[in-house]
Structure 1
Amino acid sequence: MSSSALLPLIAGSAAVAGVARRLRFSAPLLLVAVGLAAAYVPGVPTYTLDPGLVLPLVLPPLLYTAALDSSYRSLRANVRPVAMLSIGFVLFSTVVVGLIVYAAIPGLPIAAAFVLGAVVAPPDAVAATAIARRVGLPARVVTILQGESLVNDATAITAYRVAVAAALGEGFSWGTAFGEFLLAALGGTAVGLVLMVPLQWARQRLQDPLLLNTFSLLVPFAAYAAAEAFHASGVIAVVVVGLYLGHHAHTVDFALRLQEDSVWRMVAFILESTVFALIGLQLPVVLRALRGYSSAELLGWALLVLGAVIVVRFVWCWPATYLPILLSSRIREREGVPEWTRPFVIAWAGMRGVVSLAVAFSIPETVDDGSPFPGRELILYLTFVVVIGTLLLQGLTLPKLVRLLPLPEVDPQRRVLIQAQAQNDASLAAVDRLDQLLTDPRNQLPEALEQRLRRVLERRQNGVWERLGAAVDEETGESADAVYRRLGKATIAAERDVFVELRDSDRIDDELLRRLIRQLDYEEALVDHAEE
């Protein structure tokens, strides 16, 4: 892909994603739809997914940002359902979909059918959780989907490599397959465990924002490459490192942390937008390679594989949810019996994405004897149908489904109450610490400054409590939180205008202006995220 074609792709993807955000529409779905339409616009270059770029250059930062934003404690609390999906379901789907494809498509070897099963097994690492958060799914469902998407790519890629080796004529044995999976899982975990502590140590000691952001951008690629060098799972290594660094993010200086967060948000936005646009743009590439099949055959097989991928997930999710609870009284007492809606939503949220397409494009063109890889073009086509079909069918209907189903409702008042109590406890501790510090003669302050510190602490302590019971204004429809943020930002904007006016009248210079504006930016960030 030339640089002249890459720039319009990135800029166009970002523009479409920006429109989706403004319209409050799912960006992945709009990007895929626009990509499908743009693929046949005259003058649009042909974009081909290069697995040599997508897997080592796109997948690590996307997984890393997802891991940084994940909760290690929540994932640990849900390790059983996450493992049942990220490992159990992927292997189950690989085998069942492979057998269905082998039985339905004449002439396709079983090893090639299992290759297709492995390729379409893992749900996407971005689409499911992005849509889940937007539609307001319960926190535990989001945690399970997010945890699944962090690990399932490693399982699928390992299963894919075993199936490809069998298709290439290198033979297959359950012992070899189990050994490869064990090496990938344990090796990737070991590499992540070895790297995470020194990476955190270096991250805490980098005080230059430029160096920290550069270091942060290199972390996922270094973890991925180190694991792959040992033939272990780079995906798992990245996830382990990301979870550890995210869990200890509070140890980094606040200003550096804010800047690092902004950088990663930008990187994730660009990569996600470009990746989903690329999915839609692959249609001409996939169709051009198809030869020797009738339209009726292609349509029938596509519907069969798409239906099998969706149904197999439902077949897995119900037993995986209820059997452990029925068989173990300890699990039943700890977790209770979930409503039927939870496995139903988790099953329907199984959208596939760019990893499936990238892995499909990495299928070798020939086997060991030099003959063409059996059914490679057909596997590419069926993978494309599954990715597009699940993204559009399940992605478009998931929000409506969530609104119709009797899911446990998120209680915003309870969240604010917990926040208020936490803020109250922290403020009391801060007041005690301030009293201790002020007993030291070296820390003596003028009365005005001491009272100012105390007022800041008191304001933090009382702010959330004051907003807790505030109702929505009947006339404007705004909540007290919304009014608080609006008025706070308006007063900060007034201060900013004064600073700019002083600069324009040569009463302060640009360096001082930037310093003052930065202080206001921190204040506005506090106001803007008051509810959070």
Structure 2
Amino acid sequence: MALFETSLLLMLAAILLLQISRRWPVPYPTMLAMAGVAVAAMPWVPPFEIEPRLALALFIAPALFDAAYDFPPRALLRYWLPLLALAAIAVLLTTGAVATAAVWFGGLPVAAAIALGAIVAPPDAAAASAVLGRFTLPRSTLTVLEGESLFNDAVALLIFTWAVTTASSPGLLNDIAPLLVLEAPAGIVLGIVFAKLYVYCAPRLAGTLGGTLFEFVMTFGVWVVADRLHLSAILAVVTFAMMVARDAPDRQAARDRLHSYSVWGATVFMLNVLAFLLMGMQARTIVGRLAPGELGHAMLFAGGVLVIVIVVRIVWVMLYNRGMAAWARAHQWPDVPSTGQGLLVSWSGMRGLVTLATALALPGDFPARDLIVLSALTVVLGTLVLQGLTLGPLIRRLNFPKDDGYDTELVTARRALLDAALATLGDRQDIAAKHLRKAYQAEHAVEEGGHQPGDMEEIDALRHKGIEARRNTLSRLRRSGRIDESVFHALELELDWAEVAAMRSEETEIVQG
């Protein structure tokens, strides 16, 4: 009960702090970090430990699904080189640099040092997106950062799993080494099987709360089954999400999709809040049992890990950026990466949920566990505060040129959709067809550019004004008793859908806070 009450307190603190992040250029994970540590530091908050395998399943599975679902598979082919540089090489370099320092200066066993490196290596795209979403940036940069967050999690978690296995049972890795080769492909196959099963069953649950629950059952289920079979749970979930994202939308109703997005957004956000709380509670316990001399050494070591994580990313990203720019100019490529893009990517290295979850997933008897957990929390807090608070000013200073690619594609696609809608009317000349044809042609004229700047905003404003007038009339009819409650709710739902249809795409998203 005490943990539940504390979680409610943190939720309330997070909600209040997030109102600040909406008005100031502060990433919401930075606010969550501050709230989690502050609440966990309160003396009445009880100590709490979470079972390691539960921590991975509870926090990592939905985070991976959420990231993989939104990432377009075609971007893998287009941006494979920068994704390889960030999601694989950068993770390996960071893991190696941190592990080397941990062995030389921290005295950690090699396997434990590698585990620490894997824990702090992957940046969290949610932290960067909270700031980047407020600016107009090159689409290629945003896509690469989103892809990096997905695939560097997978690489880091694979390294982490192998390191924990080696440290916990040194002889076991040699015994199962041949099986590890099959972990990745078998995990991918399992993800495909679960995705096919989901796509087959989901339409039969459409329009029900069971359909949304089924999404959670399948997401956690693919992780649990892969874990039980000793397959790559990470790749299984990533494959499952990308396959579902490819096949499910064509078979899913708009109502189910909107409901699913809102539920998933709230769930991932709540898990972020819980992870920061649990991490803060563990850090308080660790600090409480360290002697003054040990605490000073531990904080110095953790600060060193933070510096290494930041510096390695900056050095590697800038080396890659300048090297690719020189190669692109030599081969006369049209898209030459700019120094500003390199600076932005190198500074978008805030750590978050994955780092917290993997640190919580360390077994209780793991070598140097306290030092590793303290270092992980320091890296998360340090990057969120230092980089999170300065990323917005850096973007403004870099002054990126406006990227019109998104707007151009949006207008082109809208025209194609309207052409398809017009074609369904054929040669019909009845009243219904004439009315609908005029509506389609009016929308087509707007998209063709036959309007003045600001006309689209005026059209949207008029639509919302009409919907608001209908809502007011509906409320008066209800209050006067002229319509039944069931009629009120039916018309209210119609107006809700009409209002959503009149919104721009960015207005339909549920933002954090």
TM over 0.5: yes
Q: 1:486 to 1:386 in 2, by over 3 A?
A: same
- Whether contact under 8 Å (2:87, 2:151) holds in the other structure is yes
* Alignment partners' CA distance in 2, 1:161 and 1:209: 37
* Alignment partners' CA distance in 2, 1:104 and 1:202: 54
What residue in structure 2 maps to residue 399 of structure 1?
392
What residue in structure 2 maps to residue 428 of structure 1?
419
**Partner-residue secondary structure (3-state), 2:116:** helix
Q: 1:92 to 1:24 in 2, by over 3 A?
A: closer
Asked whether 1:224 is paired with 2:223, we answer yes
What residue in structure 2 maps to residue 515 of structure 1?
490
Question: Given the alignment, which residue of 460, 467, 473 partners 1:485?
Answer: 460
**Cα offset, 1:86, TM superposition:** 1.9
AA in 2 matched with 1:131: V
What residue in structure 1 maps to residue 82 of structure 2?
81
Question: Given the alignment, which residue of 432, 438, 448 partners 1:449?
Answer: 432
AA in 1 matched with 2:297: E
What residue in structure 2 maps to residue 298 of structure 1?
298
Asked whether 1:499 is paired with 2:452, we answer no
What residue in structure 1 maps to residue 511 of structure 2?
none
AA in 1 matched with 2:432: L
Query: Which has the higher mean CA deviation after the structures are superposed, 41-50 or 382-391?
Result: 41-50
* Alignment partners' CA distance in 2, 1:175 and 1:334: 49
What residue in structure 1 maps to residue 158 of structure 2?
158
Query: Which has the higher mean CA deviation after the structures are superposed, 393-402 or 194-203?
Result: 194-203
Asked whether 1:462 is paired with 2:445, we answer yes
- Whether contact under 8 Å (2:36, 2:277) holds in the other structure is yes
**Partner-residue secondary structure (3-state), 2:426:** helix
Q: Percent of pairs identical after alignment?
A: 31
**Partner-residue secondary structure (3-state), 1:68:** helix
* Alignment partners' CA distance in 2, 1:311 and 1:376: 24
Give structure 1 stretches of 5+ with no counterpart.
Answer: 367-372, 439-444, 472-479
- Whether contact under 8 Å (1:14, 1:270) holds in the other structure is no
- Whether contact under 8 Å (2:90, 2:316) holds in the other structure is yes
Question: Given the alignment, which residue of 350, 354, 378 partners 2:371?
Answer: 378
Query: Which has the higher mean CA deviation after the structures are superposed, 481-490 or 93-102?
Result: 481-490
- Whether contact under 8 Å (2:124, 2:352) holds in the other structure is yes
* Alignment partners' CA distance in 2, 1:169 and 1:215: 36
- Whether contact under 8 Å (2:157, 2:234) holds in the other structure is no
**Cα offset, 1:176, TM superposition:** 7.1
Taking only aligned residues, the RMSD between alpha carbons, in angstroms, comes to: 3.2
**Cα offset, 1:324, TM superposition:** 6.5
- Whether contact under 8 Å (2:56, 2:357) holds in the other structure is yes
Mapping 1:136-147, distance limit 5 Å: 136-147=136-147
What residue in structure 2 maps to residue 389 of structure 1?
382
- Whether contact under 8 Å (1:279, 1:354) holds in the other structure is no
AA in 1 matched with 2:415: N
* Alignment partners' CA distance in 1, 2:324 and 2:228: 37
- What's the TM-score once normalised by structure 1's chain length? 0.84
Q: 1:319 to 1:190 in 2, by over 3 A?
A: farther
What residue in structure 2 maps to residue 442 of structure 1?
none
- Whether contact under 8 Å (2:32, 2:273) holds in the other structure is yes
Give a deviation string over 1:265-303, Cα, whole Å, max 9, x none.
332333334434555555413312434744543343222
AA in 2 matched with 1:112: A
* Alignment partners' CA distance in 1, 2:128 and 2:67: 12
* Alignment partners' CA distance in 2, 1:324 and 1:183: 34
**Cα offset, 1:497, TM superposition:** 1.4
What residue in structure 2 maps to residue 526 of structure 1?
501
AA in 2 matched with 1:30: M
- Whether contact under 8 Å (1:209, 1:259) holds in the other structure is no
* Alignment partners' CA distance in 1, 2:263 and 2:417: 29
* Alignment partners' CA distance in 2, 1:467 and 1:49: 60
- Whether contact under 8 Å (2:48, 2:281) holds in the other structure is yes
* Alignment partners' CA distance in 1, 2:420 and 2:414: 10
Query: Which has the higher mean CA deviation after the structures are superposed, 301-310 or 453-462?
Result: 453-462
**Cα offset, 1:18, TM superposition:** 4.5
**Cα offset, 1:468, TM superposition:** 6.2
**Cα offset, 1:393, TM superposition:** 0.9
AA in 2 matched with 1:349: S
Mapping 1:184-223, distance limit 5 Å: 184-223=183-222
Q: 1:189 to 1:427 in 2, by over 3 A?
A: same
* Alignment partners' CA distance in 2, 1:530 and 1:300: 47
Query: Which has the higher mean CA deviation after the structures are superposed, 124-133 or 506-515?
Result: 124-133
* Alignment partners' CA distance in 1, 2:132 and 2:183: 29
- Whether contact under 8 Å (1:145, 1:346) holds in the other structure is yes
Query: Which has the higher mean CA deviation after the structures are superposed, 66-75 or 54-63?
Result: 66-75
Asked whether 1:97 is paired with 2:98, we answer yes
- Whether contact under 8 Å (1:47, 1:282) holds in the other structure is yes
* Alignment partners' CA distance in 1, 2:190 and 2:315: 35
**Cα offset, 1:224, TM superposition:** 1.6
What residue in structure 2 maps to residue 26 of structure 1?
27
Query: Which has the higher mean CA deviation after the structures are superposed, 253-262 or 114-123?
Result: 253-262
* Alignment partners' CA distance in 1, 2:312 and 2:191: 32
AA in 2 matched with 1:456: A
- Whether contact under 8 Å (1:14, 1:273) holds in the other structure is no
Q: 1:326 to 1:423 in 2, by over 3 A?
A: same
**Partner-residue secondary structure (3-state), 1:198:** helix
- Whether contact under 8 Å (2:191, 2:235) holds in the other structure is yes
* Alignment partners' CA distance in 2, 1:405 and 1:172: 51
- Whether contact under 8 Å (1:183, 1:231) holds in the other structure is no
AA in 2 matched with 1:353: G
**Cα offset, 1:521, TM superposition:** 0.9
Give a deviation string over 1:137-184, Cα, whole Å, max 9, x none.
32212211211211222222221232233334515989977963x444
**Partner-residue secondary structure (3-state), 2:206:** coil
Mapping 1:12-411, distance limit 5 Å: 12-21=13-22, 25-46=26-47, 51-105=52-106, 107-168=107-168, 170-171=170-171, 180=180, 182-248=181-247, 249-280=249-280, 282-291=282-291, 293-321=293-321, 336-366=335-365, 373-411=366-404
What residue in structure 1 maps to residue 510 of structure 2?
none
**Partner-residue secondary structure (3-state), 2:124:** coil
- Whether contact under 8 Å (1:162, 1:172) holds in the other structure is no
* Alignment partners' CA distance in 1, 2:85 and 2:69: 22
**Partner-residue secondary structure (3-state), 1:259:** helix
- What's the TM-score once normalised by structure 2's chain length? 0.87
- Whether contact under 8 Å (2:114, 2:163) holds in the other structure is yes
Give a deviation string over 1:218-239, Cα, whole Å, max 9, x none.
2311222232222222222222
**Cα offset, 1:319, TM superposition:** 4.2
- Whether contact under 8 Å (1:118, 1:156) holds in the other structure is yes
Q: 1:300 to 1:24 in 2, by over 3 A?
A: closer
